[in-house]
Amino acid sequence: PVIVFVPSRKLSRMTAIDILTFAAAEQKQDRFLHITTAEIEPFTKELEDQTLKETVLRGVAYLHEGLSHKDRTIVEELYTAGALQVCIVSRSMLWTLNLFSYLVIIMDTQYYNGQDHTYDDYPIVDVLQMIGRANRPLKENDAKVVLMCLSSKKDFFQK
């Protein structure tokens, strides 16, 4: 299983669609779904977000602050059960997230601050919390984190 952290809720949806588009281009559109479509359909019928419904049917989900509590709960249960292999999470959901993974991908270390019209760095505690999600002690002995950042920040994050 993989958790992908992205800076915004718009990117969480777009990233899920992009992942599924690339999988479909390789003729492997169901590669992320670990149960049959018939088994997951009762859950997807309960989802309110139409795009989320389509991505979950293919094994990829996203979580952001705009989703209903019901949608978040369904996604978390399916991911925890192992039915979904990829969960894209917006940065703002970081502290409410209760999911863990073998692989965590952090797709940037900056977010857009609309109030100041600038790109601000994530607080280091947020980055450490994201890294801490790569942890499944009862299932695996190791975990991996891929951190994507500007090359000027590389030395800082290697420490």
Q: Does the pLDDT at position 138 exceed 80?
A: no
Q: Does the pLDDT at position 93 exceed 70?
A: yes
Topology of 2-154 in CATH? Rossmann fold (3.40.50)
- Percentage of the residues of the chain whose pLDDT score is greater than 70: 97
Closest of 81, 116, 111 to residue 99, by C-alpha:
81
Provide the pLDDT confidence category of residue 139 given band limits of 50, 70 and 90: confident
CA distance 106 to 95: 15
Domain edges within the chain: 2-154
Q: What six digits make up the tokens of 93?
A: 């959901």
Query: What pTM, to 2 d.p., does this model score?
Result: 0.89
pLDDT digits 0-9 by tens, 15-46? 999 999 999 998 888 888 888 888 999 999 99
- DSSP-based three-state secondary structure for 149: coil
Q: Does the pLDDT at position 79 exceed 90?
A: yes
Do 29 and 57 meet the contact criterion of CB atoms below 8 Å apart? no
- Percentage of the residues of the chain whose pLDDT score is greater than 90: 58
